[in-house]
A = this chain, B = another copy of it.
Amino acid sequence: MPPSAGRRRSEIVAAARELFSEKGYHSASMRDIAERLGLQAGTLYVHIRSKEDVLFEIVDQAADRFLEAVRQARAEAESRGAGPEEALRLAMRSHLRVVAENLDTATVFFHEWKFLDDDRRALILAKRDAYESAIRDLIIQGIESGVFRPVDPRLAGLAVLSLCNWFYQWYSPAGPQSAEDIADAFADLLLAGLLGGPQAAASDEARDGGGTGSPTGGRGRTARRGQRRSAGGSGTSSTVVQ
């Protein structure tokens, strides 16, 4: 029995995802996709209208996954009563998890979205903007609550996105650290910075404004001693000198 239409369609999208990631959208042909699945090229058109439809589906799914990831991170932070530090950490974990679990999708999303037609590109751009805005809002909340320094929220948001987005270029599932560990290390770095020794850390006690009673309030100090635990308590990160 041949696979159901729905399953066949998913297989086509999955094969296209791999091929667009490997060769780029323009040079991966419908014939390549069909060959990878052992099908005749004509059969594809029973399930999809065009190669661009498939590109859109891949890119749109990716955009939705990122949006859903930050929505979940914010909901989790809210339900825990977490401060902006932990909210940002959770968002970075969610983002890196999405990339780690969808490396081909991330490559297609970042490299090929610009080849969509104008209407669809506008739709993806709107979702990207919504995502960037959600990240920026986390920064703004941290600044307004006095936990973060009064940095430029646009550039700080872009810094978070840079750390999270560039990840697809170097991350390997076979590497020594999980996406969560890396997210924690990046979050620590972005929150506490490179500078500052034990003396600077001690003064966090006296920090004025906001963040009081936050379960993450102690994270910076703990991190500085190199004995950190992940925000979810599910593991330890390994950002000490190797």
Contacts and interface: CB of A to CB of B under 8 A. Distances in A.
A75 interface: no
Copies of this protein chain in the complex: 2
Report the contact-size class of chain A (Cβ under 8 Å from the partner).
35 or more
Interface string A63-102: 0000000000000000000000100100000000000000
B193 A191 contact: yes
Interface of A: 23-27, 85, 88, 110-111, 139, 142-143, 146-156, 158-159, 161-163, 165-167, 169-170, 177, 182, 185-186, 188-200, 202-204, 206-209, 220, 224, 226, 238-242
A161 B24 CA distance: 24
Interface centre among A139, A155, A185 (most CB of B within 10 A): A155
Contacts of A190: 159, 189-190, 193-194
Nearest to A208: B197
A155 B181 CA distance: 10
14 contacts: A85-B195, A152-B241, A152-B242, A153-B241, A154-B242, A155-B186, A159-B186, A159-B189, A165-B166, A193-B194, A193-B196, A195-B204, A197-B209, A200-B200
